[in-house]
Chains A and B, each alone.
Chain A
Amino acid sequence: MKHRKQRRTLEGQENTLGWVFSAPALFAILIIVLIPLLRSFAQSFQQLDLARPAGNGWIGLGNYFALLKDQRFLNSLWITVRFSLISVLLELLLGLSIALLLNNNFKGRGFVRGLMILPWAMPSIVNAAMWKWIFNADYGALNAFLTQVGLMSAYKVWLSDPFWANALLIMANVWKEAPFTAIMLLAALQTIPTHLYEAGRVDGANGWQRFSRITLPLLMPVMLMVSTLQLIWGFQTFELITVITGGGPFSSTEMVALRVYATTFRSLSFGYGSAMAYLVFLVILIPVIFYTRESYKRIIDY
C-alpha cells in the first residue's frame, strides 16, 4: 500500500518535472507562433486598412473572394509555383549528380564535401547581393564571361527581360540550395550497404541497372523529404526577389512573399494581406502536412 503510493507520487513528480522543463519553450512557441497564427487567421476575415480605418470590420470571406479575382495576386502565385517547381527539379537533378560524384573515391574528397556547406551557410541576403552584382548589365561578371568565351557579342541587360530575370533568379536560388540536397542525398547514399551492390554485380547487373534498381529506390524517401522541404522554402523566397529585381520587370518576378509584404506594409491592408498569406499557406498545405507527418514519424521511432 505504502509502496504504491510512493510510486504514484514519483510518477507525479516526473509529470510535474516534465511540464516545468518544457514550459519556457512551449510558452515561447505559444506567444510567437500559435497566437500570431490564430490572430492572423482572424484578421483574414476582416477589413483592416490602417490608411482608411473608417470601413474596418468583419467581412467574412470577402478578402478571399476578392483575392480569387485579384489578377496581380494570381499572377504572383503562378510565378511562385513555377519558380519553386523548377527550382526543386533542378536542385534534385543537380543534388543527386553531386552526391553520386562525391560518393566516389578521389583526392581531396573531404575538401570538396566540406565546400558544399558554403552556399548553405551564406546569408540569403548576401547571396542575393552577390548575384545582383554578377548580373549587373555594365560591369557584371556574367556579361564579361559570356562575351570573353565568345557566346555573346555584346553586353546584355539581363534583368530587364522577364524571361531572363526569372531564369537567373532560379539559377541564384539553385546555387544556394542544390548543395543542401546533395549533402542530404550523400548521407543517404552512404547508408546503403555495399553488399547489395556486390550481389547485383554477381547477378550480372550493369552500372545503370544497379543505379536504377538499388540506389534510386533506396534514395527515394530522402529525395521526397528534401524536395518537399525545398518546395516549401521556395514558396517563401523573399530576399532574392527584393534585392535582385524588386519584383520587376513589369511584376514578372513578383513572388507571393513580396506581394504579401507590399499589401500589408506598404498599402497597409492588414486584413487583405493576412488572407493572402493564408491562401498561399493553403496552396502548400499538402506538402507541409506530408513533411510534418513524415518527420514526426521518423523522430518518434528513435
Chain B
Amino acid sequence: MTKRPLIGKILLYTAVLALVFWTIAPYLWLVISSLSFKIDLVTVPLKWIPTRLTFENFKGLFFDNGEVTFNTGLFIKALINSTIISLSTMLISLPIGILASYAATRIKFKGNRLVLLAGLMAQMVPPIILVIPLYVILRYFDLLDKHLGLILVDVSICLPLIIWLMRGYFSSIPADLEDAARIDGASRLMALVRIVLPLAGPGLVSVMIFAFISSWNEYLFAFVFTNAAAKTLPVLIGEFSTKLGLEYLKIAAAGVLASLPPVLLALIFQRHIISGLTSGSVK
C-alpha cells in the first residue's frame, strides 16, 4: 500500500467524521431528548448537551405518580403484545421456513422451483394490496385484534426471507456429510437436525434476528388489524405522535425503548446481518 499524503488523510478523516455525525446525530438527539427535562429543551437558543439528565420520561410510560393507570397500562400492554407477537412469529416461521428451504435446496422433488418462486413473489407483492383482502379474511375468522391473526400474517412475511437466506447456507454444506449419515440409517429429518443445522449455525442466527426484527418493526398490518387488545408498540407510537398536544419527550422515550431491541440485536450481530443482507445480491 502506498503511503497516503497528509492532505488525503485529513480529507479522509473529515469525510468519515461527517458520515458518523450524519448517521448518529438524529438518533442521539432522540436519546438525549428522552433523557431531558422538558424545560431544558424549550429554551432558545437550544443547548445541545444537557447539563442534567432524568429518567422521568421513561418512568412516565410505565407509572403515573407511582401507579399503573389507564394510560400507562396502554404502553405496558403494547410492549407485551409486541414481545409475544415477534417471539411467536420467530419461533413459528423458523421451523416452517427451514423445512421448506431444505426441501427446495437438498431434496430432489418436483416442487423445488415452486417453493423458491412462491417465496420470491410473496416478498414482492406490495403490502397495501394485501391489507384490504386480509382485513376481510381475518374479520371472517374473527382474528382481527388478536395476537394469532397478526402472527399468521407476520409469519408469512418472514417465510420468504428464511427460505432464501437458508438456501445459501444449505448449499454451502457438502452433500457427502449428509449422505454418510443417511447410509447409517438416519432419516432425512434426523440428518437435517443433527448434521445440517449445526453446520448452518450462523445462518440460523441471522435468520432468527431477521424474523424478529421484521415482525417487531412491522407497522402497516398491525395498524390495520389491531386496535386495542393486540395493539403493538409501533402502532401505539404512531398514535402518540399523530395526536396533538401529546408530550414529545414521552414519545421520544417510547421511541427509544421500541428501537432498542432491533438496534441492539443488529449492532451485536452485525456480521451475521450484513452477510445475510448481501448474500442474495452479491456473489
Task: Provide the bound-state CA to CA distance between A174 and B255, in Å.
Answer: 19
In the assembled complex, the CB of B98 is this many whole angstroms from the nearest CB of chain A, namely: 9
User: Are A33's CB and B122's CB within 8 A?
Assistant: yes
Residues of A within 8 A of B121 (CB): 33, 292
User: Are B27's CB and A123's CB within 8 A?
Assistant: no
Contact status of A28 and B152, CB under 8 A, knowing A21-B107, A175-B26, A278-B129 = yes
Q: Which residue of chain B has the shortest Cβ distance to A30 in the bound complex?
A: B118
Q: Which residue of chain B has the shortest Cβ distance to A12 in the bound complex?
A: B109
User: Are B23's CB and A119's CB within 8 A?
Assistant: yes
Q: Interface digits, A30-51 against B, CB 8 Å rule (1 contact, 0 not)?
A: 0111111101100100000000
Residues of A within 8 A of B75 (CB): none
**Size band of the interface chain B makes with A:** 35 or more
User: Are A18's CB and B27's CB within 8 A?
Assistant: no
Which residue in A19, A25, A115, A132 is a CB contact (below 8 Å) of B241?
A: A132
User: Are A117's CB and B270's CB within 8 A?
Assistant: yes
User: Are B97's CB and A133's CB within 8 A?
Assistant: no
Q: Which residue of chain A has the shortest Cβ distance to B172 in the bound complex?
A: A302
A64 at the interface (CB under 8 A from B): no
User: Are A133's CB and B277's CB within 8 A?
Assistant: no
Residues of A within 8 A of B26 (CB): 130-131, 134, 175
Contact status of A299 and B280, CB under 8 A, knowing A25-B115, A235-B126, A236-B126 = yes
User: Are B20's CB and A112's CB within 8 A?
Assistant: yes
Task: Provide the bound-state CA to CA distance between A45 and B93, in Å.
Answer: 34
Q: Interface digits, A236-278 against B, CB 8 Å rule (1 contact, 0 not)?
A: 1011001100100000000011001100110000100110011
Segment 17-47 of B: residues with Cβ below 8 Å from A: 19-20, 22-24, 26-27, 29-30, 33, 41-42, 44-46
Segment 94-149 of A: residues with Cβ below 8 Å from B: 98, 101, 104-106, 108, 112-126, 128-134, 136, 138-139, 141, 144, 147-148
A208 at the interface (CB under 8 A from B): no
In the assembled complex, the CB of B47 is this many whole angstroms from the nearest CB of chain A, namely: 9
User: Are A24's CB and B99's CB within 8 A?
Assistant: yes
Q: Which A residues are within 8 Å of any B CB, using their own CB?
A: 11, 14-19, 21-22, 24-26, 28-29, 31-37, 39-40, 43, 98, 101, 104-106, 108, 112-126, 128-134, 136, 138-139, 141, 144, 147-148, 175, 179-180, 183-184, 187-188, 191, 222, 225-226, 232, 235-236, 238-239, 242-243, 246, 256-257, 260-261, 264-265, 270, 273-274, 277-278, 280-281, 284, 288, 291-292, 295-296, 298-302
Could you show 23 A-B contacts with beta carbons less than 8 Å apart?
A21-B107, A22-B100, A26-B118, A31-B156, A37-B130, A39-B137, A40-B130, A113-B274, A118-B266, A119-B23, A123-B217, A123-B219, A123-B262, A124-B219, A126-B234, A129-B241, A183-B277, A188-B281, A235-B126, A265-B224, A280-B126, A295-B281, A302-B171
